Amino acid sequence: MKKISFAIAGLSAALLTAGYLLGQAGATPAGTAAKSQKLVRVSSLKTVEANREFQANVQKVQTQRQAAVELTAALEKETNATKKKDLKAQLDALLVTLNDNNDKMRKAYGFSLDRNYTLVVETAHVYMFVTDEEAAKVEQAEKAKK
């Protein structure tokens, strides 16, 4: 899977009004609260590396969203016009980057900050360290099972 690179900088007014910055990401979209819901698969991560990459990318966009929440709160509290202008510029840049990264996540994984997700492990491998003799016994046991 392609690696998605992120840079901390920018969202848009659309995301602000959609509830991204208000801790409502993952809330049900307007009008669907009364409707029954079910899980649908939006992506499959076929390798350990793909899973690690996905988890890292999710963490990055969540960190960016939290930074935007904090900048928004600081902007609302700031009374100095110069500092307020600087905070607004930082927030605008952060929102642009966050929107871009959220779009990349949607395209790569079907993931968006405005939805809730459940990660289901479909295959897990358990490993242990063993001696060469023990490894040979395990391999023989596996061959015998087949």
Burial of 129 (0-12, 13-18, 19+ CB in 10 A): exposed
Q: Over 70: is that where the pLDDT of 60 sits?
A: yes
Tally Cβ neighbours within 10 Å of residue 94.
21
Q: Domain locations in the chain?
A: 13-36+46-145
**In this structure, are residues 9 and 91 in contact, taking their beta carbons and an 8 Å threshold?**
no
Q: Over 80: is that where the pLDDT of 8 sits?
A: no
* 94: Cβ contacts below 8 Å, ≥ 6 apart: 8, 9, 10, 11, 64, 67, 68, 71
Residue 146 pLDDT level (bands cut at 50, 70, 90): confident
Q: Over 80: is that where the pLDDT of 140 sits?
A: yes
Residues 22-39: tens digit of each pLDDT? 344 444 444 545 688 888
Residues 68-113: tens digit of each pLDDT? 999 999 999 999 999 999 999 999 999 999 999 999 999 999 999 9
Q: What is the model's pLDDT at position 96?
A: 96
Q: What is the model's pLDDT at position 107?
A: 94
The length of the chain, given as a count of residues: 146
Please state, for a pLDDT cut of 90, what percent of the chain lies above it. Answer: 53
Q: What is the model's pLDDT at position 7?
A: 30
Q: What is the model's pLDDT at position 24?
A: 40
Read off the pLDDT of each residue in 30-50 and give the average, rounded to a whole number: 79
**In this structure, are residues 120 and 42 in contact, taking their beta carbons and an 8 Å threshold?**
no
Tally Cβ neighbours within 10 Å of residue 128.
6
Residue 5: C-alpha distances to residues 56, 63, 97, 126 (Å): 10, 14, 11, 31
3-state secondary structure of 52: helix
Read off the pLDDT of each residue in 124-137 and give the average, rounded to a whole number: 90
Tokens 């099972």, residue located = 145
Please tell me the distance from the alpha carbon of residue 22 to that of residue 130, in angstroms, as a whole number. Answer: 50
